[in-house]
Amino acid sequence: MLWRAAMPAVALGMLVAAGSADAQSYRFSRIQVEGNQRIETGTIARYTGIESGKSVTAGELNDAYQRIVASGLFETVDIQPRGNTLVVRVTEFPTINRISFEGNRRIKDDKLSELIESKSRRVFNPTIAEADADKLSKLYSTQGRVAAVVTPRIIRRSDNRVDLIFEITEGATTEIERISFVGNRVYSDRRLRRVLETKQAGILRALINKDTLIEERVEFDKQVMRDFYLSRGYIDFRILSSNVEFTRERDAFYMVVNVEEGQQFRFGEITTVSEIPEAIAAEFQEALRIKPGVVYSPMLVENSIARMERLAIQKGIDFLRVEPRITRNDRDQTLNVEFALTRGPRVFVERIDIEGNTTTLDRVVRRQFRVAEGDPFNPREIRESAERIRALGFFKTADVNARQGSTEDQVVVDVNVEEQPTGTLSLGGSYSVNDGFGIAIGLRENNFLGRGQSVGFTISSASDSEQYVLSFSEPSLLGRDLKLDLDLGSTGTDSSYATYDTKRVYFAPALSFPVSERGTMQMRYAYSSSEMLARDQVTPGAVIGNEIGFGAQTSSAVGLSYTWDSRLSGLNPNAGMLFQVGADFGVGGDNRFVRTNAKAIAQTKVYNEEVTLRATVEAGVMSWRGNNFSRTIDRYLLSTDTFRGFEPAGLGPRDLSGGQDDAIGGNKYWVARFEAEFPLGLPEEVGLRGGLFYDVGNLWDISNVDTSGAGLNDIQGANGSVRHVIGFSLLWDTGFGPLRFNFSNALRKESFDKEQSFDLTLQAKF
C-alpha cells in the first residue's frame, strides 16, 4: 500500500553504539521540534516526558521516542541529541480530505460510511484504515460474500492532505451447497435441516438469503439445535463439532455437523414440597399440568414454575421462589422433579428506567412489565418482560438488566432499546382463476405515533373484485390487557361464478381479552350495508332476481366468541389443538338472525416428525327471525379453502330457473378435512413435499328464501347430501411464499355441483 514505505521507523542517530548505549547519559537544556505544522511544539515536547536539565539515559530517550510514536499523530519520527539540544524531527500524518468507495454495488456508500472509524477532516491513521477495511470485509461476509476484498488506498493532495479510497471487490455469493449431519439416529438430516436458520442452496437461491455462510447464524443454529433436542427429552445432546469446507471447485461450502443425541428422558415422579408455612404444597401441586410419562422438556418445567409463582401472588405470598430439584434415573430413563417452594430474598423494585426510545412512548415499554415500582422483585418476571419487549418488533435491540438500587434491598431495572422502522409499504400483483389480474397496495404502521398502535390501509383491485380497508388496532386499551380492533371497509365483486354484482360497506369494532392461560374471549359489533346488483344483459334466475329487487339492506349485529389454543403452551411440542366457537346476533337493520359457528383443528407429527397429520372440523348454523327473506350473500357459500374439489360456491343449493345455474347458499353446513403431509424423497433444496387429503361435508337448508317465480324442479339441493373428495397435494416452499397445488377427485357429488379438479393456493399454516 501507498503508506507502507512511510511507516514510523526507529532512528536514534549515534545512540545505538554497541556495548555503550545503556551506559551513556544526556542532559538537555531545550527541545527543538522540526517538521510540525498543525501540532504545537509544546505538545510534542510534553510527549517526550524529558525535563530540562535532568540526566537522561539512552533507554529513557528511546522511551521518549516510543511515546511520540504511540500518539498516532505522526507518519515518521526521528530524535537526535545535539549537545544540550534534543532535536525531534517529525512528519505529521496527513488529514483526510474525503473518503470514497469504489467497486461496491451491493451495499450503498451511506451504510459503509457508518461502519468505518476514519472520517473526513480527521488525521489519517493507516492502522485505523486497515481496521476499517477489515470491518467492511466482515460486513460482506455476513451477506455470504466471503471472498470479498477491501483494499484501502490513498491519493496525496496539497497541504498535507490525502483522499482515502476503499477499493472493493465484492465477489460472488458463496452458498452452502450441502448441510449434513453425523451421529443423528432419531431425526433425519431432512428434519434437522428444517430446524436450522441456515439453509442449503435451493432452486430459488437468488430470492433466499439464508443459504449463505454467516458465522453468527451458524452459532445461533447450534443453540437452536440444542433447544430442539432438549425440548424432546434428549438431555445429553451435544454438538461435537461443526465443520465447514470448500467444495472442490471452491465456489460453495459443505457444512457437516457432528452430534451425539443420547437417550430420550421422560418425567418421572412430580412432587412439591414447601419450606414456607403459608404455602401449602398440595395446593401448588394441583396447579401443575405436567404428568409422569410425558417427554421431558425444560420449557414445561419453566411454565410450571411460572404458574406456581402466579398462584403465590394470588394468595398474597410475596418473595416465593420455586426451585426445581431434578433427580436422574438412568435405569428407566426418567427425571424425577421436586418443586421446592422457598423464600427468596426480600428485594423490591425501586424503579424502571427506560432509555433509547426516541419514538416509542415509555408507557408502551412499561406495560410489558407485570411489576411496578415498589413490587417484590422477581427475576423470572423481568426475563419474561424482556421477551415481551423484544416480541413487539419495535426495537432492533432490547436489553433488560437489573442492578442494585439505592439500598441493598432495592433494584433498578434498566431497559435499553434501539428503535427500528415499524412501517411497511407493500406493492404487489395477483392473479386468480376466479378474480383475474389485480394489484394490491398496502400501507401499515405498527407503532403509530410511538403509541404501540397499528394503523393500516389496503387497496386491492382485480378485474372481478375490489377492496378498500382501513384498520386500527390498540393492543392495550385503557392500559389493560384488552385489545381493540376497528375495521372500516368497502368491497365490490363482479364474480365469474355468479350472475350478479355486489357492493358492501362495513364497520366492525371488536374487543379481545384473555380469560385463562389458553383461552381468549372476543366481543364484537358489525354494521354493514350491502346490495346485490343486476348485470347488464344478464337475466338471473328467479331467486337471485328476487334478491336483487330487495335493494340495499343494512345489518347490525353483536357477537361473542371464545378461542382455546394449546399450540404454544401444550405438553407436546409436536401436537396442538385450536378450538373456536362463537355466535352473532342480528339486532338491527333489515336482518334478524342468529349465526353460530364452531371450528376445531388438531395437528400432530409422527414418524420422527417427518409426517404431519391434521384434522379440521367446522360447522355453522343460521337461524332467521322476523318475516324478511334472506339473501344469498347473507347465507353460507363454501370457498375452495373450506371445501376442496369444487369451485367457489360450487356445491350446495342451486337455482336452475330461467336457464341459469345460480348458487344460492344454505343456512347450515358442516365440513371435516383430513390431511397428511410427508416428504417425497426429493433433494431438500427443491423444497417440495407431498400431501394427501380427504374432505367430507354438506351445505343445505334454504328456509326463509324467496323462491317465488321458480318451478318445483328448479331448486336443487335444498335438503343437501354429503359430498366426499380425495386428493393429492404438492407443497412448495418458494421465495414468494408456501404454495399448494391441489389435485382432487370428487368421490360423491350431485349432478348440479361444479367440480374443480385443480387449484393453486397459498399453503395455510396451523
pLDDT in tens, 9-49: 434 443 443 334 445 788 888 888 888 888 888 888 888 88
Look at strands 334-343 and 266-274 and give their pairing. parallel
- pLDDT of 16 reads 40
pLDDT-based confidence at residue 55 (cuts at 50, 70, 90):
confident
- pLDDT of 762 reads 64
User: Closest by alpha carbon to 550, among 339, 706, 660?
Assistant: 706
Angle at 65 between CA 75 and CA 88, to 5 degrees: 70
Q: Which CATH architecture has domain 175-260?
A: Roll (3.10)
Residue 719 has pLDDT above 60, yes or no: yes
Residues 175-190, mean pLDDT to the nearest whole number: 88
CATH 3.10.20.310 fits 95-169, yes or no: yes
Residues 507-527, mean pLDDT to the nearest whole number: 94
Residues 397-416, mean pLDDT to the nearest whole number: 92
- pLDDT of 607 reads 87
Instruction: Specify whether the CB–CB gap between 168 and 149 falls below 8 A.
Output: yes
Q: Which CATH architecture has domain 4-92?
A: Roll (3.10)
pLDDT-based confidence at residue 665 (cuts at 50, 70, 90):
very high
pTM for the predicted model, two decimal places: 0.73
- pLDDT of 568 reads 63
Q: Which CATH architecture has domain 266-343?
A: Roll (3.10)
Which 3-state string (H, E, C) describes 456-497? EEEEEEECCEEEEEEEEEECCHHHCCCEEEEEEEEEEECCCC
Which cell is 40 given?
A: 504545537
pLDDT in tens, 242-261: 887 777 666 677 889 999 99
What is the enclosing helix (H) or strand (E) of 112? helix 109-115
DSSP helix/strand/coil, 598: strand
Q: Spelled out in words, what is the top-level CATH class assigned to the domain 348-419?
A: alpha beta
Output the DSSP codes for 88-106.
EEEEEPPEEEEEEEES-SS
Angle at 175 between CA 171 and CA 177, to 5 degrees: 145
Which cell is 496 given?
A: 365469474
Which cell is 264 given?
A: 430420550
CATH classification for the domain delimited by 562-762, as one of 1.10.10.10, 3.30.2140.20, 1.20.930.40, 2.40.160.50: 2.40.160.50
Residue 143 has pLDDT above 80, yes or no: no
Residue 291 has pLDDT above 60, yes or no: yes
Of 25-34, 336-345, 686-695, the one with minimum mean pLDDT is 25-34
Residue 154 has pLDDT above 60, yes or no: yes
Could you check whether 175-260 and 266-343 share the same CATH topology? yes
pLDDT in tens, 88-118: 998 888 888 999 999 888 888 888 998 899 9
- pLDDT of 263 reads 95
- Give whichever of 124-128, 402-406, 567-571, 596-600 has the largest mean pLDDT: 596-600
pLDDT-based confidence at residue 6 (cuts at 50, 70, 90):
very low
Q: From the CA atom positions of the chain, what is the Rg in Å?
A: 36
User: Closest by alpha carbon to 103, among 170, 153, 164?
Assistant: 170
- pLDDT of 763 reads 56
The torsion angles phi and psi of 47, rounded to 5 degrees, stand at: -60, -30
- When the pLDDT of each residue in the chain is averaged and rounded to a whole number, the result is 87
User: Closest by alpha carbon to 93, among 136, 153, 156, 150?
Assistant: 156
- pLDDT of 11 reads 41
Which cell is 106 given?
A: 451491493
- List the domain boundaries for the chain: 4-92, 95-169, 175-260, 266-343, 348-419, 421-494, 562-762
What percentage of residues in the chain have a pLDDT greater than 70?
90
* CA-to-CA separations, 228 to 187, 199, 294, 387, 577, in angstroms, rounded: 11, 17, 16, 19, 20
Residue 559 has pLDDT above 70, yes or no: yes
pLDDT-based confidence at residue 123 (cuts at 50, 70, 90):
confident
Residues 288-308, mean pLDDT to the nearest whole number: 91
Output the DSSP codes for 52-100.
TT-EEEHHHHHHHHHHHHHTS-EEEEEEEEETTEEEEEEEEPPEEEEEE
Q: Which residue has the higher pLDDT, 636 or 39?
A: 636
* CA-to-CA separations, 331 to 185, 291, 358, 527, in angstroms, rounded: 21, 19, 57, 64
- pLDDT of 1 reads 43
